[in-house]
Amino acid sequence: MQPTSLVNIGDYSRDDIFRILQSALKFKQNPNRDLLKGRVCATLFFEPSTRTRLSFETAVNRLRGRIVGFSDSATSSSAKGESLKDTIKMVGNYADLIIMRHHLEGSARYASEISPVPVINAGDGSNQHPTQTMLDLFTIYETQGTLENLTITIVGDLKYGRAVHSLIHGLSHFNPTFNFVAPEELHIPDKYKTFCDSKNIPYKEFTDFSADSINNADILYMTRVQKERFTDLMEYEKVKNVYVLHNDMLDDSKDNLKVLHPLPRVKEINQNVDDNPKAYYFEQAKNGMYTRQAIICDLMGIETNLL
């Protein structure tokens, strides 16, 4: 059965993923259509965002739908103590679809269970960021011509990075090999290693960011240390600049390598990498608009392949 909300990328089968990617390709060819005319989507962002919120809102605008919502929860009645349950029930009365980012892990699942309309998880704490994964998969396919049998090196905050956690699940259908590069304090949580073991997915762990983990990779997935998840900022200060990718570190990398990053970037990719043809993070972010158009239409049961 086709999913009715996008809460966890693990709820999407390989076929579901390919259906979205094919639709996203159509939107990349023609992003301006009338498919959402008369529909209203709500963006409820309890945490800051640039790309996710604006690409969702652009996606809807380009399909002639309308957007309501908030980008700062301090301007909503949650600041007066209204519960998430009541907020979702109210917004579900107004809108045809809810797109929500929230700091609590599991909040999107909860919202999907009480909402009368589909819910899209735009990030729930350190847990999941499934629409980021969908655009990551689209970008990997676009640059590699396949999702199968790739070596993915993931670097940075593997403990708190929700884009990382979703990506591991999303790629699990495609026989990946992972290199996990993180300092001890931010290493990949055991549950993701157990997940890889259960799927016979090979992985190696590194604490040094060096040629060993770069030169055999097809995708180098850089991530930011997630300052907002630290309860002790002294701990953040210790690891905040632990790894920085410089242009010369790519000298012996594979020809097909692409450097991705969910963004925002802080200092983990030196700006001297930006002009390297292997840098693909801005194109990756642009792909977010097309994949989000595809996800919205899929959840609303709107046929996208006709045009």
154 binds ligand CP (CB under 6 A): no
Binds ligand CP by CB under 6 A, chosen from 87, 115, 128, 132 = 132
| CA distance to 22, 297, 302, per residue, from 305 (Å) | 9, 11, 9
As annotated, the active-site residues are: 51-52, 80, 101, 129
Minimum CB–partner distance for residue 295 and ligand CP (Å):
14
Size of the site for ligand CP (CB under 6 A): 9
Minimum CB–partner distance for residue 244 and ligand CP (Å):
19
Beta-bridged to residue 120, according to DSSP, are 6, 99
- Which residues make Cβ contacts (< 8 Å) with residue 80, sequence separation at least 6? none
Q: Which is nearer to ligand CP, 46 or 304 (CB)?
A: 46
Binds ligand CP by CB under 6 A, chosen from 98, 117, 140, 263 = 263
Amino acid at 37: K
Asked whether 41 and 296 are in contact (CB, 8 A), the reply is: yes
8 binds ligand CP (CB under 6 A): no
264 binds ligand CP (CB under 6 A): yes
Minimum CB–partner distance for residue 122 and ligand CP (Å):
7
Minimum CB–partner distance for residue 273 and ligand CP (Å):
18
Q: Which is nearer to ligand CP, 35 or 138 (CB)?
A: 138
**Direct distance between the N- and C-terminal alpha carbons of the chain, in angstroms, rounded to an integer:** 25
Torsion angles phi and psi, residue 212, rounded to 5: -55, -35
User: In the Cβ-directed half-sphere of 274, how many Cα atoms lie within 13 Å?
Assistant: 6
Beta-bridged to residue 220, according to DSSP, are 153, 259
Number of H helices, E strands in the chain: 10, 9
Please give the Cα distance from 45 to 43 (Å, whole number): 6
Q: Which is nearer to ligand CP, 7 or 263 (CB)?
A: 263
Tokens of 283: 């194109």
Minimum CB–partner distance for residue 305 and ligand CP (Å):
27
Scan residues 28-57 and list those touching ligand CP (CB under 6 A). 49-52
121 binds ligand CP (CB under 6 A): no
22 binds ligand CP (CB under 6 A): no
Instruction: State the residues that interact with ligand CP by CB under 6 A.
Output: 49-52, 123, 132, 262-264
